[in-house]
Amino acid sequence: MKNYTRMDILRSAKENFVKFVRLQFTDMLGTLKNVEIPIGNLEKALSNEVMFDGSSIQGFVRIDEADMYLYPDLSTWLILEWENIPSGKVARLICDIYTTEHVPFDGDPRFILKRNLKAMEALGFEKFNVGVEPEFFLFKLDEKGKPTMEFSDMGGYFDLSPIDGSEDVRRDIVLELEKMGFQMEVSHHEVAFGQHEINFTYDNALEACDNIQTFKLVVKNVARRHGYYATFMPKPVEGINGSGMHTNCSLQDAQGNNVFYDPEDEKQLSVTARKFIAGIMKHAREFGLVANSTVNSYKRLVPGFEAPCYISWSDANRSTMIRIPAARGKATRIEIRSVDSSSNPYLAMSAILASGLDGIRSDLKAVDSIKKNLFKMSPLELKRYNITNLPENLKEAVEEFSTSSLMKEAIGEFLFGKLIEAKTAEWNEYKTKVTAFELEKYLPII
**396 has catalytic annotation:** no
Which among 27, 108, 135, 159 is annotated as catalytic? 135
**∠ CA(250), CA(256), CA(259), 5° rounding?**
40
Which among 164, 167, 176, 197 is annotated as catalytic? 197
**335 has catalytic annotation:** yes
Which among 8, 53, 253, 265 is annotated as catalytic? 53
Which among 27, 108, 167, 190 is annotated as catalytic? 190
Which among 133, 164, 203, 358 is annotated as catalytic? 133
- For 191-312, strand residue ranges (E) read 195-200, 203-204, 228-231, 245-252
Which among 110, 170, 246, 283 is annotated as catalytic? 246
Which among 170, 337, 358, 400 is annotated as catalytic? 337
What CA–CA distances, in Å, run from 280 to 313, 333, 343, 357? 10, 13, 17, 9
**133 has catalytic annotation:** yes
Which residues, in sequence order, are bridge partners of residue 26? 32
**197 has catalytic annotation:** yes
Q: Is 185 left (phi over 0), alpha (psi -120 to 50) or beta?
A: alpha
**135 has catalytic annotation:** yes
Evaluate whether 36 touches 24 at the Cβ level (below 8 Å). Answer: no
- For 154-231, strand residue ranges (E) read 184-189, 195-200, 203-204, 228-231
Which among 6, 11, 225, 318 is annotated as catalytic? 318
Q: Give the closest residue to 80 by CA, choosing from 23, 40, 41.
A: 23
- Residue 421 to residue 59: CA distance in whole angstroms: 10
Helix (H, G, I), strand (E, B) or coil at 141: strand
- Residue 88 to residue 337: CA distance in whole angstroms: 42
356, containing H or E segment: helix 345-361
Question: Where in the sequence numbering do the catalytic residues fall?
Answer: 53, 133, 135, 190, 197, 246, 318, 335, 337
